[in-house]
Amino acid sequence: MKREAFMNRRNLITILSIIFLTLTLPACAPMPVLNPLFSDSEWLFEPKLLGIWEKMDPENKSFCSFHDFDAQAKSYKVDFDNKNEAGWLGKIGDNHYLDIVSVEQTDLPNKGLGELEVTPTAKGYQVKPAVVVVSSQVYLDFTADNNDQAISGQSAKIRFNVRPLHKIYRLKLENDQLTIWYLDDEKFVKQIEAGKIKLAYQKEPFSMITANRSELQEFLRTYGESEELFKEMGTYRRAVIEELESITSPQPGM
């Protein structure tokens, strides 16, 4: 009976995490990564990255920006697609990589700690709160209480942390031009399923690299420039202030 109750509750936790993440994770995007790419001692800060960059594509005008987010932590405030994100730069082999996470704050108590109340019922479980809003860039890390209140039919508390998912980009800054590639989810899964590369990852309920830092770095040292894994986001030039003003200024008659 005890084992059955434990398994039921573990199954419930799995179901909850699947629901939250499959509803919010986008398709055709940078491959989600569970662990950070760099340790604190490996962070680099390149002042030449700071500023606003304009994509060198006349048919696809877009911008990205890097700002000094935390000089002491050598982090950047990064805006690739109007998202509030933080990035840490590092070097592996001859290439520079940017590890980006969301800094979006969810409406949860204690800075990302949350708690669900689960009560066994005749038809299954009742969960309060019924909905926990999590964005496409964070995941729920569940830890159940040590006691087994659910066995006796009483409510049980299931605690969870909200943690950021990481995204990996390769950067090349040369002659005041910035080229950005990202580790593509579809390309990665295709190569994994074809048996062409090996790296710890989970397939269900969504694809995510679960390798540790040293495994990630070794993987990038070998495959960091692979066109079968990385997709070019674009090449950018430093934006001219006058051009930015003309784009953002109200047009006559508007």
User: Quick one: average pLDDT of 227-250?
Assistant: 74
User: Quick one: average pLDDT of 77-94?
Assistant: 88
What is the helix, strand, coil percentage profile of the chain, to 5? Answer: 25, 40, 40
Per-residue model confidence as pLDDT tens digits over 20-64: 444 444 445 789 898 999 999 999 999 999 999 999 888 888 899
Contact 211, 202 (CB under 8 A): no
d(CA 172, CA 46): 12
Query: What integer pLDDT is reported at residue 23 of this predicted model?
Result: 40
Classify 156 as helix, strand or coil.
strand
d(CA 27, CA 36): 21
Among 140, 189, 105, 107, which Cα is nearest to 34's? Answer: 140
Query: What integer pLDDT is reported at residue 192 of this predicted model?
Result: 94
d(CA 95, CA 48): 16
Per-residue model confidence as pLDDT tens digits over 136-147: 566 666 654 444
Which has the minimum average pLDDT: 43-52, 69-78, 196-205, 224-233? 69-78
- Per-residue pLDDT band for 113 (boundaries 50, 70, 90) equals low
Residue 165 has pLDDT above 80, yes or no: yes
Domain residues of the chain, as ranges?
A: 2-24+105-156
